[in-house]
Structure 1
Amino acid sequence: MTKQDTLSAFYHKLLPLFPPRTEGYINRLKQQDLQHANFRYIFSVKSMIEISHMIEDSVINTLGGADTHVSFQYFSRINAQLGQYTKVAEASKGLWLYGVSDAPLPQLARTTGIDTSGTPLEKYWFVVAYGPGIYATLLAEEIDPEEGQRFYEGFYTFEPNAAFQIISLLHHMFPTQVPPPIAPQDQEKE
């Protein structure tokens, strides 16, 4: 198995462990309930943005508390979220942005861009916040679009170990750009 296949294998192994939900489910949850929810789904881009913003807002509200890893799939897609990501970059210990380098990345504080051209990561949208007290993961694979619309199947969880495993895989794939994460139980000691 290549380094690039590792995330795909992890994703497909973990996906069945989460109960399936629909977009209606997320619309019925209250904000405080989402912070304890674990589920898988097939969602539209609009709902993916809503869930992403919940994680991003947690990072913004926990200054210096988390490393944040985000795949936009294509760097050009960050422009629509630039205001939000300026805040995320300022609030994060470090921000890693992943995507196909189809446009230059804007200059953001404490930010590393990682080109995923030619890797399976081109198909994934993820937002991972990882630090003491803030462990949140959204990991989704783009599925075959219907009539030009983009849809994603994935999972959303606040399990610290899921975030740790994903960042460990990203470190394995990009060892010179992504530092190894500190295990959740060891972070609390720092």
Structure 2
Amino acid sequence: MTVVIDPVFSVYRLTQRDTDYSLLRHRRTMSVVSYEIENATLLDGAENVIFSSFQRMSKFLPQVDRYTRIAARADQVWVFGIPDVAVPPIPNVTYVPLEAKDQLAKEWFLVSYGPGYASALATEELTHIDDPDDMRQFRGIWTFDRRLVNVLYGWLTRIVEADTYNIDQAEFNETTHLTRMANTITRMETLTGDDRLTQMESSLIAGEIRETLIHEVQAVYTRMMADE
């Protein structure tokens, strides 16, 4: 199956229709957040549909082993990127080729959606992918808002012509979702103190992630109160 991507389609801009905040900025933060969204499947058992953009497939190659394990636990996995290198076939992973002119080639996004967990990282690069990693800058959000993630999921499934399923409020397990959010917060406390990170990186990541998680926990709580 050949997937043709609308060159102006943007995951990041879809999120901006529903929210006006943009908290994440640094490339290292993008990496840490991506790992944690993936860990909801890899470590916490969320059998989700995952859409993951690496901008270029050469950026995906170092993650092949990890994504082989993720795909074995996920419902479906879709990996987006410019095909600048050959990538190996992985069971349950579908590759979606991008072109340099595509807006999605300028975005780092990861969307994970299922009945017990919903999260999305949606960012747009302000620099260039070839810039040194410590110089790369993004703007974007990390959200656990099921309704917003559902919108992203719906658009992406239509674009790749994937099978889709709707999870209504009654089917979504909010308790499991909150438990997995709590697991993420616990792991974040360890990651931001990782010896492999410089003190500056740890400080930047901790600040960005703390601000985001506070915002998201408040949003989830507000939604739960409104739904009662």
Shared topology, TM-score over 0.5?
Answer: yes
1:110 maps to amino acid: N
Task: Trace 1:85-124 onto structure 2 (pairs within 5 A).
Answer: 85-117=67-99, 118-124=101-107
1:173 maps to amino acid: I
Q: Which has the larger radius of gyration?
A: 2
User: Is the contact between residue 4 and residue 121 of structure 1 (CA under 8 Å) also seen in structure 2?
Assistant: yes
More helix by share: 2
1:5 maps to amino acid: V
1:127 maps to amino acid: L
User: Aligned-pair RMSD on alpha carbons?
Assistant: 2.5
More strand by share: 1
- Identify the match of residue 30 of structure 2 among 39, 48, 51: 48
Deviations for 1:69-127, whole angstroms, at most 9, x for unmatched residues? 10001111112222321221111111000111111222212011111213211011111
Instruction: Return the alpha-carbon distance in structure 2 between the equivalents of residues 93 and 81 of structure 1.
Output: 18
C-alpha spacing 1:15/1:3, structure 2 compared with 1 (3 Å): farther
Task: Trace 1:9-158 onto structure 2 (pairs within 5 A).
Answer: 9-16=13-20, 18=21, 20=22, 40-43=23-26, 45-63=27-45, 65-117=47-99, 118-145=101-128, 148=132, 149-158=135-144
Q: Counterpart of 1:179?
A: 163
Instruction: Return the alpha-carbon distance in structure 1 between the equivalents of residues 95 and 169 of structure 2.
Output: 28
User: Structure 1, unaligned stretches of length 5 or more?
Assistant: 21-39
User: Is the contact between residue 40 and residue 46 of structure 2 (CA under 8 Å) also seen in structure 1?
Assistant: no
Give 1:186 deviation, angstroms: 6.8
1:179 maps to amino acid: D
User: Structure 2, unaligned stretches of length 5 or more?
Assistant: 174-228
